[in-house]
Every structure is written in structure tokens, then in C-alpha cells.
Amino acid sequence: MATGVPFLGFVFTPGRVRLKREPVRRFMRRMRRYQREFAEGALSVNRLTASVQSWVAHAAYGQTYRLRTALLSNLVFSRAS
């Protein structure tokens, strides 16, 4: 198949596994929400860390090193003063 087989948020083609766009969009929406919640003190560091590590582990099944690096380098979490 030229277009690949979609499965669990990935598209599998011969020799390549790519992450679909929708899981990336959901992750970024969740991270924006988490940034607000973390700033307000409504989100713990442990919960934030677990969520990010979970998504990174899922995304790592595909060929996503540059994607993960780009997305994670732009994330900043800080508490509101």
C-alpha cells in the first residue's frame, strides 16, 4: 500500500512508522491546558511528568525524534507569582 496502514495513532508503511497529526495536536492542546493548570497550582509536578513521559514513550515507537525534540524544546512550565 502506498498510503500505509493507520493503527493506534501511527501510519505504518514499509520501512517507516510515522505519527499521525491528530495525536500531536491533542498533545499540544493538553500541554497548553497543563501550562495554565501548573501556573495556577492545580497540577502537580508528578502528574505533569507522568503525562509527558507517557506521550514521549508512545511517540517514540515511530520515527519521531526531531518532532519530539521540537515540541518539547518549546514547552515551559512555571508557577504564577
pLDDT tens digits in sequence order for the chain, 81 residues long = 468 999 999 999 999 999 999 999 999 999 999 999 999 999 999 999 999 999 999 999 999 999 999 999 999 999 987
What single letter denotes the amino acid at residue 14? P
Residue 62 falls in which region: left (phi positive, over 0), alpha (psi -120 to 50) or beta? beta
* Domain residue limits, the chain: 17-73
The pTM (predicted TM-score) of the whole model is 0.86
